[in-house]
Each structure stands twice: as structure tokens, then as C-alpha cells.
Amino acid sequence: MNESRTNPSPAKWQTCVRTIKCDFIDDYVSLMVKNDWTSLCTWYRQWKDPESKGAKGLKPNKETRKKITLCQGPDCSYVTGYRDELMKEERKAA
């Protein structure tokens, strides 16, 4: 999970999720930002995150294994960009 470097106050909402087409892995992924500004990609959490074990018992097929190597991980520009966009909107609303 990513955290903002400035540690702003918590958001007024619980969680925001956006589904996008990730150009890195050429698949649809969901980006999640929680009110404490931690952010993640659910695809990364399911298939690549060593701590998560999201795909319990599932072995990735050949296509998914290729995508795992292309995934940018927790510092992906899509994840950080979505979080930064929400932070900007939250500051405007305040």
C-alpha cells in the first residue's frame, strides 16, 4: 500500500474505487484509495503482492504470468495518480 508523503488529515469518505484499463498489463484493474490515503491496485494485490496471497490456491495461467512481470506494483503511476487526484479534490472541497 502506498501512503501520501505529506500525511494529510483523513478524507471525509471511507473508500473510493475506480476501474480503469491498465496499459502496462493490458487488462482492467480496480484502483482503491482509503480515507487514510493508502492506495492499492486490486490486480496487484491478487496476483503479485507477496504478502497478500489474494489468489489463494489459484495458479496464474501463462497470460497472467506475463502480466505479473509487466505490473508496476504499488508505486504504479495509475495508483499514485488516482490518489493524488482525490487529495486535490479533497483540498478544494475543504
Number of H helices, E strands in the chain: 3, 3
- Tell me if the pTM is above 0.85: no
Q: Can you tell me the distance from the alpha carbon of 26 to that of 78, in angstroms, rounded to the nearest whole number? A: 13
Length of the chain: 94
Q: What is the pLDDT of residue 4?
A: 45
Tell me the pLDDT tens digit for each residue of 6-65: 567 888 888 999 999 999 999 999 999 999 999 999 999 999 887 776 656 678 889 999
Q: What is the pLDDT of residue 94?
A: 74
Phi/psi for 81 (5° steps) reads -65, -40
Q: Can you tell me the distance from the alpha carbon of 52 to that of 56, in angstroms, rounded to the nearest whole number? A: 9
